[in-house]
Amino acid sequence: MGQENTVPRKINGVEGTLGQIMQSQGPGVVEQWTNPSDIGVDYGLSFIGTVTGIAGAPKFQCSGLIGFGEEFFKSYWAYVVWDADGAGAQPQGQMLECTGYATATGDFTVAAFAPNAIAVGDKVLFLHPSIAATRRMLDSLDFWSDPQEEIQVPAVAGTLVFTPTVTVADLPVGATVVRAFAMFKFRMVENTADAPNALDGPTVAATSQVIQVKETAGGAYVDAINFADNQFSLVNLTREGGDAYIGSPDIAGEVDGNDSYTFQWLLRKCDADFINFNDCQVGLRIWYSV
């Protein structure tokens, strides 16, 4: 494995022919030559199998990978190498972690491949976690809403729904969001005759002010940015250029590709009435693996 060969290699003194593949048939079985149309398994860090049955979603069966020992493939990653129809349709190119393996039947348990389910005849490469980690490289993207020209923060606590939404574009095929954080960008202007005041945390229900996010099409708001008492202060009457704050709760479980997200500022308030937040934008910073 890992060796480039220009001529067929010999197994037990027998030379293969061009186009044949050397494979191991599993524990305790002698290596042999096989035709590419009947690819079997390889050595321990990676195995390849053909889906021979659907064992009740999200399970599928590879009968050529029977007998490796209970849960042997648990934590391996199942990468769909080839779509049986030959059209390159998903789940070709997608990779999911194996959460279970039955040695007697060759049944593998994974989360459901989407939007297309895995099918009989698909070729699946099973990668050891240490190998899969080299493929699952992290990348990050920022997505911002359009600017909201101005919002006012009163002295009395109240909830504000931001007008612009944040749209997360399509991610690469097989990408998985592994971390996500909300962002808030703004500049402040005080439009009262009072001297500049620090923005204060709320006294309502002994709860911190929170910016929340949810999918526009449905779902419930989740906390995304939590402002502490006196998080912001006004040194001058205007703050040009703007500040950006990034939330600490990881909301990866709420974020995926090709969706839009609505934000609200729960219980917003300040010491002085009518502090203006100008050029406000909300955003999402995501890290994904492929």
- The domain segmentation of the chain, as residue ranges, is 10-135, 138-289
Count the neighbouring beta carbons within 10 Å of the beta carbon of residue 182.
26
* Bond into 36 cis (ω within 30): no
pLDDT recorded at residue 202: 36
Going from the C-alpha of 16 to that of each of 5, 30, 271, the distances in angstroms are: 12, 15, 82
Per-residue pLDDT, averaged over 216-225, amounts to 87
- Name which residue leads in pLDDT, 33 or 100: 100
Per-residue pLDDT, averaged over 189-210, amounts to 44
154-165 pLDDT per residue, tens: 888 889 899 999
pTM, 2 dp: 0.50
> Which helix (H) or strand (E) segment is 46 a member of?
strand 46-50
Contacts within 8 Å (CB) and 24+ apart, 87-94? 89/116, 90/114, 90/115, 90/116, 90/173, 91/116, 91/117, 91/118, 91/122, 92/122, 93/173, 93/174, 94/173, 94/174
Count the neighbouring beta carbons within 10 Å of the beta carbon of residue 285.
17
Name, in order, each residue with C-beta under 8 angstroms of 188's C-beta and a sequence gap of 6 or more: 232, 234, 238, 239, 275, 276, 277, 278
Distance CA 107, CA 52 (A): 10
**CATH assignment of 138-289, among 3.40.50.10860, 1.10.3720.10, 1.50.10.10, 2.60.120.1200:** 2.60.120.1200
- The DSSP annotation for 206-223 comes to G--EEEEEEETTS---EE
| Identity of residue 181 | F
pLDDT recorded at residue 189: 63
Distance CA 135, CA 138 (A): 9
Whether the Cβ atoms of residue 77 and residue 93 lie closer than 8 Å to each other: no
What is the C-alpha end-to-end distance of the chain, expressed in Å? 24
pLDDT recorded at residue 15: 52
41-75 pLDDT per residue, tens: 344 678 889 999 998 778 999 998 998 888 899 98
Three-state DSSP string of 17-43: CCCCEEEECCCCCCCEEECHHHCCECC
